[in-house]
Amino acid sequence: MLKKVFCMLIIINLIIMNISIVYADDENETTEKSNMIEVTNQTKDEPILNSRIAVAYDRKSGKVIWGKNENKKSAMASTTKIMTSIILLENGDLTQTVTISAKAAGTGGSRLGLKKDDKITMKDLLYGLMLKSGNDAAVAIAEIVGGSVEGFAELMNAKAKELGLENTHYVTPHGLDDPEHYTTAYELAKLADYALKNETFAKVVNTQNYTVTINGYPKEISNTNELLGYLNGVNGVKTGFTNNAGRCLVTSVNRDGFEIITVVLQADTKDIRTKDSIKLIEYVYENYELVNIKDIIDEKFKNWVLINKDRIQVNKCKYNNMELYLTDLDNDVVPIKKSEKDNINIDINSLYYFEAPVEEGTIIGSLKVDLNENTIDVVEIKNAYTVEKKDIWDYFSLFAFELLH
């Protein structure tokens, strides 16, 4: 009998633990800062991460600096709330005071602590969403802005489509597990980059502590992002956890104008997600720098024009007023490994013979920028002015000139 009771207690305990794990989004878990500091000293070598999915994304160029399964679809947990915030900021009114529904108040997982009929502003719901990771706040926002959770999800998916997030799909505003709720680390980084361009969003996710007001009473909340206020340059963005997503962390960092976003998904513990994020961040800043390739290209092109301009012949033209220019680069500044800066190669190809007229904007050639045989960018070489063809009067004038001389 005692054995049966003991077994039942174990089963009940396991069920309770499983339920708490499923819903314990962003629960606190110790991360030893001494261990975190050790990580910052291991930045020279290629990072070895325990998280199953990760990416480091350069905000200026929109390029992936480093990736691990960055295009693999995954559950995203509360990093979902980045999109929830965007939809609120672009469609809602932060000054509006709202009444919390029974459905919002009854939402499980991490919570702001809202109860049915509570009064709170949309601004405080936003802070409760992003700092406290309140699932109850997420549902409340969805109901007010989208009319329902389903209606709000439609807005989220429409925005994802607008932003070109082809491997992202939303079902809920909070991110609790659903097979049709997914993204990739790369697209999550792109989304965070977009969101951070909103000044209000950037301010919220860079806030460590805040006081919300519920029914006229103040309540102190703190940000769940363990790197905010700890690691140099970190200024956001969002934590997350569910069974399918594992421990997640989206981090934005700015050091001397070099802005990156890192994403780690499917880490087994909070300690792992923290250390992996630090490894990735420190690796990027230790080994990469922003290089102005436009300056390098302009100098190379200027020298090429000096040598080659007179070699470009235009048959039957009135006069050769060919002036050459380069079209715009995709990115003037790109992150390049410090040890590989000398491996940048610029290859210029051009046509050297044309028949007049040559219209303004005609493509004369191309300039390609390679790094270790990987193409960084290709731009076109065009002529700035129309080169006109000789007419009968030009030939007559030339004939007359020759007769007179």
The DSSP symbol for 13 reads H
Catalytic residue among 51, 61, 78, 252: 78
61 is catalytic: no
110 is catalytic: no
Q: Which CB contacts under 8 angstroms, 24+ apart, belong to 186-190?
A: 186/55, 186/57, 186/64, 186/67, 186/70, 186/71, 186/263, 188/76, 188/79, 188/82, 188/250, 188/263, 188/265, 189/55, 189/57, 189/250, 189/261, 189/262, 189/263, 190/57, 190/62, 190/163, 190/164, 190/165
Catalytic residue among 61, 85, 101, 133: 133
- Looking at residue 76, its amino acid is M
Catalytic residue among 51, 61, 68, 81: 81
Quote the CA–CA distance of 366 and 115 in Å, as a whole number: 64
Quote the CA–CA distance of 347 and 354 in Å, as a whole number: 21
- Looking at residue 158, its amino acid is A
- Looking at residue 178, its amino acid is D
Give the CA angle between residues 170, 88, 71 to the nearest 5°.
35
The DSSP symbol for 216 reads T
Q: What is the DSSP string of 161-207?
A: HHTT-TT-B-S-SS----TT-BB-HHHHHHHHHHHHTSHHHHHHHT-
Q: Mind telling me the catalytic residues? A: 78, 81, 133
